[in-house]
Amino acid sequence: MNKLILGRYIAGDSLIHRLDPRAKLVLSFYFVGIIFMANNWQSFSMLLIFTLGCILASKISLSFFLKGVRPLIWLIIFTVALQMLFSSGGQMYWHWGIFKISEFGVTNGLYIFCRFILIIFMSTLLTLSTAPLQLADAIESLLKPLKAIKFPVYEIALMLSIALRFVPTLMDETAKIMNAQRARGVNFGQGSLIKQMQSIIPLLIPLFVSSFNRAEDLAIAMESRGYQGGEGRTKYRVLKWQTTDTMAFVLFAVVTVALVYLKN
């Protein structure tokens, strides 16, 4: 239950934690983009060393990052095996029916494995070192230029913070409704498939209805307190761009140049 409220953020005071969330968000996306440029050993090892350096700088234990790999482990194994067994080219090591292990397949499989690991580590670093609220602010701030084309940036930020607020409430409420329905004789997760699917109905409908009712109440409460939309509203948390953020961008530019130099 706690997990759903706090996210996976691990509080700390490292260089990475102190970076502006906007910089972290943009750079994480950027890094995932440039990983696809790497296509030989030199470029992959350079990126791997860089990623490990970032992890070290965050002072978060490596085990948290390895946990991020676990849910995807089957997909990774499956993909790597698929690449190894079915692609051909280069020297042939082993051959049985349609299955073959070739030089090309092995290197390709290993590259895909590296790419997975790099992407998992970097994106895990973002969520581990940045609190959900900070990231929500970062998203609002980064979307701001879209206001020019009438994109409802402020409304998105409002909905995001309301949703954040209501996740724990709805979690409790779901548990309550399930208990109430159990008391009336519903067996969740038991019986035939049809029975199980039918048992969802007395859970879904009260959830929908109570959401609508609460939305009505909240809208009235907000309006009666003078809520008028985004115009002229001030913020409690203000993001501040610092020199270290600019330095981070410079560092990533250097990595990109090195990558272009190293790749085939």
Partner 1 sequence: MGKNNRLKQLIIAAELAAVMGVLSQLIIPLGPIPLTLQTIFIGLLASLRPVGEGIKTVGIYLLLGLIGIPVFAGFHSGLLSLIGPTGGYLFGFLIYVIVTGLFLKWCGNGRWQLYVANLLGASVQLLLGAACLMIYQQTTIQQAFLIGVLPFIFVGILKVVFVCELACYLIRRYEIKAL
Binding interface with partner 1 (CB under 8 A): 3-4, 7-9, 28-29, 32, 68, 71-72, 75, 78-79, 82-83, 86, 108, 112, 116, 119-120, 123-124, 126-127, 130-133, 135-136, 139, 155-156, 158-160, 162-164, 166-167, 169-171, 174, 189, 193, 196-197, 200-201, 204-205, 207-208, 211-212, 214-216, 218-220, 222-223, 227, 229
State in angstroms the smallest separation of the CB of 243 from partner 1.
25
Task: For partner 1, give the closer residue by CB, 42 or 210.
Answer: 210
CB 55 within 8 A of CB 65: yes
What's 233's DSSP letter? -
Residue with tokens 């440029």: 37
Task: For partner 1, give the closer residue by CB, 226 or 243.
Answer: 226
- C-alpha–C-alpha distance, residues 79 and 89, integer Å: 18
Task: For partner 1, give the closer residue by CB, 164 or 258.
Answer: 164
State in angstroms the smallest separation of the CB of 54 from partner 1.
14
State in angstroms the smallest separation of the CB of 196 from partner 1.
5
Task: For partner 1, give the closer residue by CB, 42 or 123.
Answer: 123
- C-alpha–C-alpha distance, residues 40 and 264, integer Å: 7
CB 46 within 8 A of CB 254: no
The HSE-up count of residue 97 (CA atoms within 13 Å, CB side) is 1
- C-alpha–C-alpha distance, residues 146 and 140, integer Å: 10
State in angstroms the smallest separation of the CB of 91 from partner 1.
20
- Amino acid identity of 204? L
What's 237's DSSP letter? S
Task: For partner 1, give the closer residue by CB, 229 or 261.
Answer: 229
Nearest CA to 99 out of 111, 88, 107, 109 is that of 88
How far is it between the farthest Cα atoms of the chain? 75
Task: For partner 1, give the closer residue by CB, 193 or 238.
Answer: 193
- C-alpha–C-alpha distance, residues 105 and 26, integer Å: 33
State in angstroms the smallest separation of the CB of 63 from partner 1.
17
- Cα dihedral sign for 153, 157, 158, 160? positive
Provide the CA 11 distance to its chain's centre, in angstroms.
17
Task: For partner 1, give the closer residue by CB, 120 or 262.
Answer: 120
